[in-house]
Structure 1
Amino acid sequence: MVPQAFKNPPQAPPLFTGTPDSVIQDTKRIIEKSRGVEDKIVAEVKPEDACFGNTMLPLAADENQGALENHIIGFYQSVSTNQELRDASTKAEEMMDDFSIESSMREDIYKLVEAALKKDEKLDPESQRLLEKTHKAYIRSGLGLPAGPKRDRYKEIKKRLSTLCIIFSKNLNEEVGGLWFTPEELEGVPEDVTALFAKGEGENAGKLKMTFKYPDLIPTTKYAKRPATRKKAYIENENKLPQNIPIFREVILLRDEAARLLGYPNHAAFIIEDKMAKTPKTVDDFLGDLRTRLTQGGASEMEVLKALKKQELKSMGEDFDGYYFLWDHRYYDRMMLEQDFSLDQEKLSEWFPLETSIRGMLTIFETLFGMTFVEIIGDDRSAISPSGKGDDIVWHPDVQVFSVWDSEDQGSGFIGYLYLDLHPRPGKYGHAANFNLQPGFMQENGTRRYPVTALVCNFSKPTPKKPSLLKHSEVTTLFHELGHGIHDLVSKTIYSHFHGTNVVRDFVEAPSQMLENWCWTPSQLKALSHHYSWLSPEYEAAWRDQAGKDQPRPEKQLPDKLIENLIKTKHVNDALFNLRQLHFGIYDMTIHEPKSHAEVESFEFSEMYNRLNREISHFDSPAQLGQSYKWGNGQTTFGHLLGGYDAGYYGYLSSQVYSADMFHSVFEKDPMDGKEGRRYRHMVLEKGGSQDEMETLKEFLGREPNGDAFYRELGLS
């Protein structure tokens, strides 16, 4: 039961009662309301009278109110089990994007915003930033172009890009393919993984279906003893979305054309101008320097892994041909951890049941940031539901919901709602991500509107014999995404435009990357762990059935020796991991930074993706066996590049510079220092995007950030 003090949050949670019809009708209503606000401003305000209060403020208020509904309307396509509702959500997002493009190219509004900016009023810093950013956004939306064919073409491109990116993402979410394998072909894959595979009938009788969802694919490529199985799983996954091939190509061509219409040399220059890096050269130099530093380390790591492969093949009576393939890496990387560090990831996962891991993570955030998480279940859901029905405040029965509050020393106030949707199902978003469902902002009456945020992940479901168990990499992923959720929750900005993770792309990952360090801290690993045999008598009995009646029961928390071995692996094969990230980042920059439009038209996107992978990471592929580099279409599964990280994937690497600097400068000595945690909460997370991100970093660190800690961690200083 919810403690009495937390029974009545000052804001009800949202309802998830949308239908295919209501989603479309609500979208039309929101659009008409926003259009009406803009028309009213134009009708009532002359350019000479334009100021922040009569021009910018009503636009910001409309943006605030619209976000309370339109984020959820667009969210259904990622989580609903109803195909018609997902389709309606996708259609609604297209309608909202079309209106957004139309709105962003209203010259009458732009002239008023420009006049308000020139008035040079004394505004608070966040309002001034909103005015400047909005003015620049109109220019970047094509209003710097003279009215006529060029501007019309730019608008046409923006609408087409919106449609294409939505379809690309929908294809990814709704992909339902897979491969049928015999039990022999799946030799080595843990039984608790294959037990969840669909069982074949008819022509597939006796076979099991591995889907391309992560809980199926990753264990198969990590554990399947037969190279042919791993190869087939890897290559078919790269080629699972042929319908995305022409979409990807058209998007890159249109982006380049649009950037050139605005006078930029390419799309990368257009995108990066607004980021911390400012210029493509800064990004290219950073990625190139990192590649130079990592290449020798990657080659050395690969030689060790090749020796391991040679040794295994010899034990099987087979010759080693000298190749180390893309589909070999997860398998031999895992084998190395087991052999050299006595680290069996399957065994280790027994100490990380999903539910206790989440509770442990929330406890860390409570201690560090001064927060309290209260799960809302049963009748308490109905009590706070605006409809009186508890089921209406979640979109699926699996979903958990928490009310989030300040701790006593932070004032005991309400913070917002956190949702957790953790298991895979058909039609659901396929990776792990944080979604803002309702932003926080200051309402016109001076009270605060509280945020609502959701974590959407795909961890395996529990079985009668085992709860959902997390690999350590999944513990880190969950902590990372929860970090985004916390950023979303504790942010306090005047305008929703700057709320939470609405920061520049090359900073957005830094707060969550910094928090990953807690998953490598002995005391926190101990606190997070809880062997599943201690969860219930039933799980203890199931464990004994598997381990043997005479085996002593494992320690309740992760043993110190295992923690020690795990921490030793933190940087094992780190160079190869980061070279893989460099492949993604350099590919992203290469396709968005052509010298001419003719050059981008000549790009062979699949061939380039695979060739760069070979040149940067040095993994072998079918191309080394005599095939062309067109063997796979990995870019068609690369959701980031059509989902907001275009000319921005480098941010995963560059923001590690900031995250390493923050952790090693402030938290390394005592990761659970609540004083520093609260300072970080208020100086970094609370600010959202309401001030320049570099200023935020400098204020927190007391100096300019630098890469010393990042390169030292990688052994590259």
Structure 2
Amino acid sequence: MAPHKFKQPPQAPPLFTGTPESVVKDTKEMLAKAKKVTDDIVAKTSEKDASFKNVLLPMAHDENLQTLSAHILGFYQSVSTDQALRDASTEAEKLMDEYSIDASMREDVFRLVDAVSKQGEKLDAESQRLLEKEHKSYIRNGLNLPAGPKRDRFKEIKMRLSQLSIEFNKNLNEEKGGIWFTKEELDGVPDDVVDLLKKEDGKYWLTFKYPDLFPTLKYAKNTETRRKVFVANENKVNQNVPLFKEAMLLRDEMARLLGYETFAEFVIEDKMMKSAKKVDEFLAGLRSRLADGGLDEIKTLKALKRKDVESRGEKFDDRYFLWDHRFYDRMMQEQDYQLDQNLISEYFPLQTTIEGMLKIFEELFGLMFVEVTGKDRDSISPTGKGDDIVWHEETQVFSVWDGEGEGSGFVGYLYLDLFPRQGKYGHAANFNLQPGFITENGTRRYPATALVCNFSKPTAKKPSLLKHDEVTTLFHELGHGIHDLVSRTTYSRFHGTSTVRDFVEAPSQMLENWCWTPSQLKALSKHYSTLSDDYYKAWKDSNSAADKPEETLPDDLIEKLLKTKNLNGALFNLRQLHFGTFDMTVHEPKSHEDIEKLQISELYNHLRKDISKLDGPEVLGEGDGWGNGQATFGHLMGGYQAGYYGYLSSQVYSTDMFYSVFKADPMNHKEGRRYRHTVLEKGGSQDEMKTLVDFLGREPSSKAFYEDLGLE
């Protein structure tokens, strides 16, 4: 991607100058202003005079303004290097959640909203959706319960659930665990990984962060090393175990207070699936289609393990363990498909891969990305200091514009924070920093969005290199970022990825297909040795007998890679099915007593064995309580509770969209722009099924999903 010329954006980027003191102070001031807006509406408006314009609209405008600060105040806890600032950000989130719960249960406001709802005003479609969602949210927050003990208890539960979620995720972000290993115990793990580990007294400190964890599980030849890492990772935040159990109990109690049979019924009622029964049927149907394929894949992998173990003069145990899978899945790629993921990664240096991805989005969606560096940062910073518009020195900033064909207007800001550090969010995710919306005076407010990832850091001899699955992860998260950037909604409530949970992953999952398209793999790739003379020399020193590598990913490697797209795909999807099934099981007990008696860790591990058929420590006599994987699973504590099935249902939608519209020509500009305007722009401003039907021209189908897996 040739660099575009910098031009001054019409809107300054957000500032990241918060201090532990200012974050809490600013939060309290923001919430006090919001309360005054609501109090004034109640004081000035009677039920008979209530209208969308004097009740809903001022609250919506206030909500829009709150989001400009609120998301960033809560964001510091995921990215700041300052423990005190992370703690203050956590406290800010707690204050915001408490205020939100209070506000969502104000009977005086509900009466006004209810009056507006009953009037049947003629509103534009998005305003009508806002009214309906707002009205329903008050009911779902207990306002149909009689004032008194039941409603008070409901509020207590909401408050406690907020506290539990914050504490749970803080424990995950602050996790500092690891294991000391000798060099011999790490035999097989790439030197690039080992060289970056802390070393003391001849041993290496291996953390549970992704850049340490995954390569060890993939490459460590020592079975015991892999077992130790896997089991310890499943037990890295055991202080979350009671928090998770308490949350399950409170969610169940809350749903029953509102008259629902289960928490799952309560959550899914306003999602695309509409009912827990439909979700259970979807998951059961998927399991029946995948089960035999999973067993066949294990049989093949077991044979590979037998051959490997016996070649080392060891006795084969006739087991295929959870900690075996990444190792032998990788070995199968190398032996049966002659695919070396380390060799593949040499063609995906992080920065050139990002440039390639942005170029794809430029061509497909009519966008333009301009990296903002040096003095240009100073020029767009409201303070005149470029350092003030980023939260860490490694953060990259892009101003995003429409291309000429789309009008050349400003779109928003994109941030990339790509490497691990202490206290940082440990996975890969997209965070909205400021949503877009229409302001009170009718002008557009532009969004800012951030990708927070944990890729391996560059070394003196190599840049950061991405495995193909990391390329796919980056494309997926950048897809969320693009959704966030190009959304054009009136209200911040519906901006970008603010859709129902069982649709939100579909747009990003669809874009993952570009990582399996030969022309796009070619366009994305660039061998790291071509980036500088020093890199070439370092490569040559390690590959003295090899010919100079091709500049882009060679056709034979692309062909081998494509053959592995659904390699062990049944096992991959059965893993997702385990998560989704566990999530539904704990959220739809037959009675409250059942969830009280439920041994959740045992259930998590039992379901994993039952669904995936991979062996765990339970077959070694350790019982089903050997690990607490659910305690490491932030999604189920905040955001995807009774909704993890959405990753699978979204995959059905995303595959349908790709096969129907893009498979024949992934870089079809006309369809890319139609997708941008028909799907991405809408955010959550209309029913998501309508969005899908408008784009596909029909109801979605699961045919392409099963065809892609080779099951159709």
**Which band: TM-score by shorter chain?**
over 0.9
Residue 359 (structure 1) aligned to one of 333, 337, 355: 355
Residue 616 (structure 1) aligned to one of 611, 614, 618: 611
Aligned to 2:378: 382
1:150 aligns with 2:131: no
SS at match of 1:453: strand
Give the Cα–Cα distance (whole angstroms) in 2 for the partners of residues 268 and 551 of structure 1. Answer: 57
Cα displacement (A) at 1:551: 2.4
Give the Cα–Cα distance (whole angstroms) in 2 for the partners of residues 622 and 404 of structure 1. Answer: 50
The superposition leaves residues 574-601 of structure 1 with CA deviations (integer Å, 9 ceiling, x where unpaired) of 0000000000000000000001000000
Cα displacement (A) at 1:70: 0.5
Matches within 5 A, 1:181-192: 181-192=181-192
Give the Cα–Cα distance (whole angstroms) in 2 for the partners of residues 159 and 626 of structure 1. Answer: 41
1:672 aligns with 2:664: no
Aligned to 1:578: 573
1:522 aligns with 2:518: yes
Q: Percent identity among equivalent residues?
A: 68
Residue 270 (structure 2) aligned to one of 250, 269, 274: 274
What is the number of equivalent residue pairs in this alignment?
Answer: 712
SS at match of 2:455: coil
Residue 705 (structure 2) aligned to one of 701, 707, 710: 710
Give the Cα–Cα distance (whole angstroms) in 2 for the partners of residues 5 and 107 of structure 1. Answer: 54
Aligned to 1:314: 310
SS at match of 2:391: coil
Give the Cα–Cα distance (whole angstroms) in 1 for the partners of residues 682 and 668 of structure 2. Answer: 21
The superposition leaves residues 456-490 of structure 1 with CA deviations (integer Å, 9 ceiling, x where unpaired) of 00000101100000000000000000000000000
SS at match of 1:263: coil
Cα displacement (A) at 1:184: 0.1
Give the Cα–Cα distance (whole angstroms) in 1 for the partners of residues 387 and 710 of structure 2. Answer: 51
Give the Cα–Cα distance (whole angstroms) in 2 for the partners of residues 412 and 167 of structure 1. Answer: 44
Residue 437 (structure 1) aligned to one of 433, 440, 455: 433
Aligned to 1:600: 595
Say if 2:173 and 2:426, in contact at 8 Å, map to a contact too: yes
SS at match of 2:238: coil
Cα displacement (A) at 1:660: 0.6
1:448 aligns with 2:444: yes
1:288 aligns with 2:284: yes
SS at match of 2:684: coil
Aligned to 1:16: 16
Say if 2:518 and 2:558, in contact at 8 Å, map to a contact too: yes
SS at match of 2:369: strand
SS at match of 2:384: coil
Aligned to 1:212: 208
Aligned to 2:102: 102
SS at match of 1:545: helix
Letter in 2 for 1:492: R
Residue 468 (structure 1) aligned to one of 464, 475, 489: 464
Cα displacement (A) at 1:141: 0.5
The superposition leaves residues 574-632 of structure 1 with CA deviations (integer Å, 9 ceiling, x where unpaired) of 00000000000000000000010000001101000000000000011111111110000
Say if 2:218 and 2:330, in contact at 8 Å, map to a contact too: yes
Cα displacement (A) at 1:242: 1.3
Aligned to 2:500: 504
Structure 1: unaligned runs, 5 residues or longer: none
Residue 563 (structure 2) aligned to one of 560, 563, 568: 568
Distance 1:51 1:384, change over 3 A: same
1:117 aligns with 2:117: yes
Aligned to 1:69: 69
Distance 1:632 1:4, change over 3 A: closer
Matches within 5 A, 1:156-305: 156-200=156-200, 205-305=201-301
Distance 1:396 1:286, change over 3 A: same
Give the Cα–Cα distance (whole angstroms) in 2 for the partners of residues 683 and 692 of structure 1. Answer: 12
Letter in 2 for 1:652: Y
Residue 421 (structure 1) aligned to one of 417, 423, 430: 417
Give the Cα–Cα distance (whole angstroms) in 2 for the partners of residues 643 and 178 of structure 1. Answer: 25
The superposition leaves residues 647-695 of structure 1 with CA deviations (integer Å, 9 ceiling, x where unpaired) of 0000000011100110000000100001000000000000000000000
Letter in 1 for 2:362: E
Cα displacement (A) at 1:552: 1.5
Give the Cα–Cα distance (whole angstroms) in 1 for the partners of residues 103 and 5 of structure 2. Answer: 44
Letter in 1 for 2:138: Y
SS at match of 2:411: strand
Letter in 1 for 2:649: S
Runs of 4+ that moved beyond 6 A: 2-5
The superposition leaves residues 339-375 of structure 1 with CA deviations (integer Å, 9 ceiling, x where unpaired) of 0111010111000000000000000000000000000
The superposition leaves residues 257-281 of structure 1 with CA deviations (integer Å, 9 ceiling, x where unpaired) of 0000000001100000010000000
Say if 2:145 and 2:258, in contact at 8 Å, map to a contact too: yes
Aligned to 1:391: 387
Give the Cα–Cα distance (whole angstroms) in 2 for the partners of residues 612 and 289 of structure 1. Answer: 16
Cα displacement (A) at 1:716: 1.7
Cα displacement (A) at 1:6: 4.1
The superposition leaves residues 515-548 of structure 1 with CA deviations (integer Å, 9 ceiling, x where unpaired) of 0000000000000000000000000010011111
Say if 2:78 and 2:424, in contact at 8 Å, map to a contact too: yes
Give the Cα–Cα distance (whole angstroms) in 1 for the partners of residues 422 and 638 of structure 2. Answer: 21
Aligned to 2:491: 495
Say if 2:4 and 2:370, in contact at 8 Å, map to a contact too: no
Aligned to 2:91: 91
The CA RMSD over aligned residues, in Å, is: 1.0
Structure 2: unaligned runs, 5 residues or longer: none
Give the Cα–Cα distance (whole angstroms) in 1 for the partners of residues 471 and 4 of structure 2. Answer: 32
Give the Cα–Cα distance (whole angstroms) in 2 for the partners of residues 270 and 195 of structure 1. Answer: 50
Letter in 2 for 1:267: F
Give the Cα–Cα distance (whole angstroms) in 1 for the partners of residues 364 and 144 of structure 2. Answer: 47
SS at match of 2:313: coil
Cα displacement (A) at 1:5: 6.5
Aligned to 1:661: 656
Cα displacement (A) at 1:3: 8.2
SS at match of 1:243: helix
Give the Cα–Cα distance (whole angstroms) in 1 for the partners of residues 110 and 33 of structure 2. Answer: 19
Give the Cα–Cα distance (whole angstroms) in 1 for the partners of residues 145 and 287 of structure 2. Answer: 39
Give the Cα–Cα distance (whole angstroms) in 1 for the partners of residues 59 and 685 of structure 2. Answer: 17
